[in-house]
Structure 1
C-alpha cells in the first residue's frame, strides 16, 4: 500500500473519540483524554473531537452549580492546554465554562499550547429527558467575544471558523444539529469544510438510525465532512443509557463508525477528501448562491492555526475499486432494480411518443447486447406489448465463436423474442472486393467494415418493420472511443449509454441470480464469464475468442475507476494515480496502473468526436458523457498537459 504523505494529495485526517468518563471527576477525565492524545497523534490525526461536557461528564445534574466542579473544569482545561503543546494536532473537548457570571455548555478547541477558540452551545434542549436550561445559558446571550485563559485571549462565540493549514473547521454541539437551521450550515457557507459535533445523546429505540440520517443529510447539504462524538461508558444511568457514538460522514457518505455499547474508550479515524469537497462546492452553483446570501449577514471570525509538518502517512480510507457498482448488502437489489427501471422508463417513453411497437437489436452473446435485450423485454412487458415485436438479430462474421453465437440464440429463445440470423461474411467479402481491401490484412478497415455492415442491416430491418434500432454500447466504450464511428456507435436510442462496463457486468449477473428460469440463469452467467470482445478477428485454432478487448485497451475496472474520478471530481492524473495505487494494491503493479492511465487519457481526448454526436439515452448515475447533458468538450482539445503529468509519475 502507498506510504506517501496523504496530505500532499488533499486528504485531512480526523478522529472521533469516545473516552471513558467518571462523573464529576475532572482529574480522571482529563487523564483519559491526555492518554488518548498520544495514540491519536501517533496515527497522524490532525483534528480530534471528544464528547459534550466530557471534562466533567454530561450527567452531573445540579453539580454544575457547584463551584468546586466549575473550578476543577477550568483547571482541567488548563492541563489540556499545556498537554496540547506536545502533540501536532488540534483537539476539541466539552466543558462547562463560566463567562460573565453565566455558565455555558462549551466546546473548547486546543492546540500548540493554547486555547484556540471556545464555542458555546446554541440550542439547549429543555424537553422530555433534557433540561439543560436548568444549568446553562444559550449562546445567543453571551456578552463577550473574547475569553481570557491565563495569558491567552481566545475568541468565544458561534461565529468562529478555525482554519488549520487552510482547512476550515466549524463546531456545533449536540442539539444544534437537530434544529431547522443548524449553526453548521452557516459555518459551511463561511468556509468550514469539516464540521465537528460534540454530543451526549442518550440512546432510545430507533434513535441511532435517525441520528445517522441527520448527519448524512447535513454533511451532504453542507458539502462537508461531519465528525460526531457522543458520550458513552461512564455517564450516569440513573434515568438514561448512553451507547457511545463515534461517526464520520463526508458529503452524505459514511466513512467510519465505532461499535456502540463498548465498556472502554474507543475512537475512529478517517481521511477527509478536502479536494473532493472543494470540487463539489465549485461545481454545484446553488451552494455558491447560498454563500452569497450568507455574506450579507454578520461576519464570521476566522481563526488561523498552524500545525507542524509531521507526516500523515498512508491513507486511512476505504476506496471502492468499482465506484459505479452498487455495494453489497441490503441495498443491492433495490439499487439494481432502480438502474434497470431508469433504463426501462427512458425506453418506454421513447416507444410511447413515437408509437413504436417494434425494436431491432443486434445480439452478439456479449454483455452489452444482453443487458439491452433484458431491458427491452421488461419494457415491452411494462407497456403490454407483444415480445415478438422485439427482433433480435445475430450476425455471425469472421470472428464469431460458437460460444457467443449459441448464447445469443439461446437467450433470444428463452426470452421469447423474434430471432433472426444473418451472416455478414458474404456481404463483407463483397465490400472488401469493392474497396480493394485484402481480406488477409486484419487492420482497422477489416474490423470496422464488419461493424458498419451489422449496423446497416439493423437500420434496414428497422425500416422494414417500422421499428427502432436499440443501441447497446456502454459508457466505458464511449469514454475510450471503443466503437466504430457510424457502426455500433450509432442507433436510434441507447439504453446503455451511461452504464459503464463494470456495471453492465454486474447488472447482467444480478438479472441472472434473480431469474426464476434455470436455463436463462445459466445462459446469463455464461455470458458474464465470457471474455469481452468485439469478435472482429478470427478465433484461435481451438475456436476460442482471440481478440480480447481488455488485452488491447486495458482492464475495464481500471478504466472505469479513472473515468469516475476524471468526470465526477475532475481530479488530476497524479491524484487518480495515487488513489489507484492505494485501491488496487496487490492487484496491479504501478507500471500497469500508469500504463493504462496514459491509454485512458490519450483515448479519452482523441475520441471526443464520437461523443459529440451520440444518440439519445437515459442518464443513470452521477457520471454521463452525453453532449446534451453532463459533458461538453471540444473535439480538438489537447491532452498534452494530462499526458505530461502521467509521464512524470513514478
Structure 2
C-alpha cells in the first residue's frame, strides 16, 4: 500500500491546432517533472489539441494527429519515468469525446470522458463532443484517482459518483477562461466538492490567449479539510509538484508554495497583455500598429502593447485633421516617448478634402453631419491598413466596451483592425487601468517603469475630435452613468423598468437600450478582443440584428 504520491501540475500554454508544438510542451513538462521527482504528470483540458478547438476537432485528419501524439507519449512512458494523464480529443467507436488518457510504462492504463458538456456563454461543446458515461476512479500505483474534467465539477453528480465508487483524490484538468473575480468562484466551487466528497481536490487550469478568450492558470490544491494547500501563479506557465501522503483519515496534500492573488486591476491588465501577446505571436505578426490620438483609450492600448510585445514591436501613428487640437498632438508624442515606441504623424486632411470634392456632386450641398465625421475616421483606417499592408504590422483598434456597446464607433473606421485589447473594458475601468499602470509595472512586462500615460490624457474630457469642440458627453450620458446602465443591461439582463427602479433616469435608460440594440450589426463586424467581464458583447451576447423587440 503506497504511503505517498507526487503529482506534477503542468500549467501550460498550448496553441489550438499545433499538435506537434503542444506535444513538445507536454514532453518538456514531463522532463521537468522528472527533475522534481514526480510520479505522475497531470495536464490541462485538451492540451494536445489546444482549447477550445471548436469545429477544428471535427476534422478526421486532426483527430488522427492527436491520436498519434498520444501514441508518442505512450511510448515515452516506457522509460520508467512519470505517468502521464494527458487530455486530448479521443474517438471511441463512432463518438468523439473530450477525454483524459492515462499512460504509464508504455500502456494506456485508463481513459475517462467528460460527462457534462457546457453549452452556454463562450462554450459550444455539445456541438462537437459526445458526453461520456459517469466515471469511477482510475487506479494508479494503488491509489484510486478521480479525474473529472472541468465542467464535471461545476455540479455535484460526477464527483459524487467518483466518491461513491472509492475515489481517494480528485485531479481535475480545466480549460477555464479568465473573467474578473472568477478565481474566488473557482475556489468556492472546489470547496463545495470537497465538502460533499471528503476528498482532496486538485484544480489544474491552462494559461494563454485563444482568440477572445484568455486562460489565467491560477491552479490550486485544496485539502480534505478545505484548506488551500498550494497555488500556482496566474498568467504564467509553470510545472509544480505537490505531494500527497496517506494518513489515518485518507490522503492529504502537503503544504506547498501559494502564489499571491492579483487584485482586479492587476489581473485585468495581465489578461489584456497575455491576450494580445498570444494573438500576435500565435498568428505570426511581427509587430502592431496603433492609431495614437492623444486620448485615453489609445494611450492605454499602446501601453498594453509595449508591455506585452516590447517597444520595438509597437508603431504608433498620429493622424490629425483640422479638428485635432495642438494638445492632442503633444499628448500623443509625450505618450509615445514615455513608451519608447516609433511614432509618426500622417496628416489626413488632404484625404478628407479629396473625399469632399469627390462626393460634392452627389451630396447636393447637404449640410455637414456625421457623414463628414465618419469620413475622417475611415481615412485614418485606410492609412493604418496601408501601413499594415506595407510594413507587416497588425492594426490594433482602441475602442472600449462602453463605445462598442452603444455603437459610438465608426464601422470601417476606428473599428477597423485585427484585434481590440479594450473590447470588453468599460470606459470607467479604462481610466482606472491608466492610473494603475502609471503606479505599477506589471509582472512580465517588457515596457518601462514609471509613468507611461501623461496625466493630461487621463484628466481631459474624452473627445473623438471629429468636429469643432466635440465632447463624448455631447452624444452619450456621462460615462459613470452609461457604464452602470450597460452593466445592468448586458451582464445582468435587466430591463429598463428594473434599472429605473434602481434609481436610473428612465429616459436615459431607454435611450441607452435603443443604442445598444441598434449597434448589434456593428458589433458583428468588429475585430475580436480580450474577454474580461462575465459577459462580453460578442461571443456571449448573441442578439439578432433584425429585432423588433423593445424592452
TM-score, structure 2 as length reference: 0.50
Distance 2:365 2:272 in 1: 39
Q: Post-superposition shift, 1:220?
A: 10
Distance 1:594 1:607 in 2: 20
SS of aligned partner of 1:521: coil
How big is each residue's C-alpha offset from its partner over 1:37-94, in whole Å with a ceiling of 9 and x where there is no partner? Answer: xxxxxxxxxxxxxxxxxxxxxxxxxxxxxxxxxxxxxxxxxxxxxxxxxxxxxxxxxx
Query: Does residue 398 of structure 2 align to residue 465 of structure 1?
Result: no
2:368 maps to which residue? 442
Structure 2 vs 1, CA of residues 356 and 525 (structure 1 numbering), >3 Å: closer, same or farther?
same
| Counterpart pick for 1:496 among 422, 425, 443 | 422
How big is each residue's C-alpha offset from its partner over 1:26-46, in whole Å with a ceiling of 9 and x where there is no partner? Answer: xxxxxxxxxxxxxxxxxxxxx
Q: Post-superposition shift, 1:514?
A: 3.0
Distance 2:488 2:190 in 1: 20
Distance 2:455 2:537 in 1: 29
Q: Post-superposition shift, 1:360?
A: 0.6
Q: Post-superposition shift, 1:403?
A: 1.7
Alpha carbons 2:440, 2:450 under 8 Å: kept = no
2:466 maps to which residue? 536
Alpha carbons 1:509, 1:524 under 8 Å: kept = no
2:297 maps to which residue? 368
- Unpaired runs of at least 5, structure 1: 1-184, 187-212, 223-330, 382-386, 539-545, 582-589, 643-650
Structure 2 vs 1, CA of residues 416 and 522 (structure 1 numbering), >3 Å: closer, same or farther?
closer
Q: Post-superposition shift, 1:334?
A: 2.6
Q: Post-superposition shift, 1:414?
A: 1.5
| Counterpart pick for 2:357 among 403, 416, 433 | 433
Distance 2:413 2:191 in 1: 42
Query: Does residue 517 of structure 2 align to residue 594 of structure 1?
Result: no
Query: Does residue 217 of structure 2 align to residue 217 of structure 1?
Result: no
2:281 maps to which residue? 352
Alpha carbons 1:424, 1:453 under 8 Å: kept = yes
How big is each residue's C-alpha offset from its partner over 1:444-468, in whole Å with a ceiling of 9 and x where there is no partner? Answer: 1110000000011001101111110
Structure 2 vs 1, CA of residues 451 and 332 (structure 1 numbering), >3 Å: closer, same or farther?
farther
1:565 maps to which residue? 488
Query: Does residue 458 of structure 2 align to residue 548 of structure 1?
Result: no
Q: Post-superposition shift, 1:564?
A: 1.1
| Counterpart pick for 1:413 among 311, 327, 337 | 337
1:335 maps to which residue? 264
Q: Post-superposition shift, 1:594?
A: 2.4
Alpha carbons 2:406, 2:519 under 8 Å: kept = yes
Query: Does residue 324 of structure 2 align to residue 392 of structure 1?
Result: no
Q: Post-superposition shift, 1:358?
A: 1.6
Summarize the alignment of residues 69-108 of structure 1 with structure 2, pairs less than 5 Å apart: none
| Counterpart pick for 1:404 among 310, 328, 343 | 328
Query: Does residue 373 of structure 2 align to residue 422 of structure 1?
Result: no
1:131 maps to which residue? none
| Counterpart pick for 1:630 among 510, 527, 540 | 540
Distance 1:505 1:433 in 2: 39
Distance 2:418 2:476 in 1: 27
Query: Does residue 308 of structure 2 align to residue 379 of structure 1?
Result: yes
Structure 2 vs 1, CA of residues 332 and 363 (structure 1 numbering), >3 Å: closer, same or farther?
farther
Alpha carbons 1:475, 1:499 under 8 Å: kept = yes
1:74 maps to which residue? none
Alpha carbons 2:485, 2:499 under 8 Å: kept = yes
Query: Does residue 530 of structure 2 align to residue 618 of structure 1?
Result: yes
Summarize the alignment of residues 171-186 of structure 1 with structure 2, pairs less than 5 Å apart: none
Structure 2 vs 1, CA of residues 639 and 560 (structure 1 numbering), >3 Å: closer, same or farther?
farther
Structure 2 vs 1, CA of residues 603 and 547 (structure 1 numbering), >3 Å: closer, same or farther?
same
Structure 2 vs 1, CA of residues 471 and 518 (structure 1 numbering), >3 Å: closer, same or farther?
closer
Alpha carbons 2:335, 2:452 under 8 Å: kept = no
| Counterpart pick for 1:451 among 361, 368, 377 | 377
Q: Post-superposition shift, 1:599?
A: 1.4
Alpha carbons 2:287, 2:313 under 8 Å: kept = yes
SS of aligned partner of 2:315: strand
Q: Post-superposition shift, 1:388?
A: 2.8
Q: Post-superposition shift, 1:413?
A: 1.3
TM-score, structure 1 as length reference: 0.43
Alpha carbons 2:321, 2:347 under 8 Å: kept = yes
How big is each residue's C-alpha offset from its partner over 1:477-503, in whole Å with a ceiling of 9 and x where there is no partner? Answer: 111000111111221111111111111
1:605 maps to which residue? 517
2:457 maps to which residue? 527
Alpha carbons 1:366, 1:532 under 8 Å: kept = yes
Summarize the alignment of residues 29-68 of structure 1 with structure 2, pairs less than 5 Å apart: none
Alpha carbons 2:317, 2:345 under 8 Å: kept = yes
Distance 1:522 1:351 in 2: 22
Q: Post-superposition shift, 1:520?
A: 6.5
Distance 1:522 1:416 in 2: 9
Structure 2 vs 1, CA of residues 425 and 334 (structure 1 numbering), >3 Å: closer, same or farther?
same
SS of aligned partner of 1:341: helix
Distance 1:599 1:332 in 2: 39
Q: Post-superposition shift, 1:521?
A: 3.0
Alpha carbons 2:401, 2:424 under 8 Å: kept = yes
Distance 1:406 1:438 in 2: 38
| Counterpart pick for 1:480 among 403, 406, 422 | 406
Q: Which has the larger radius of gyration?
A: 1
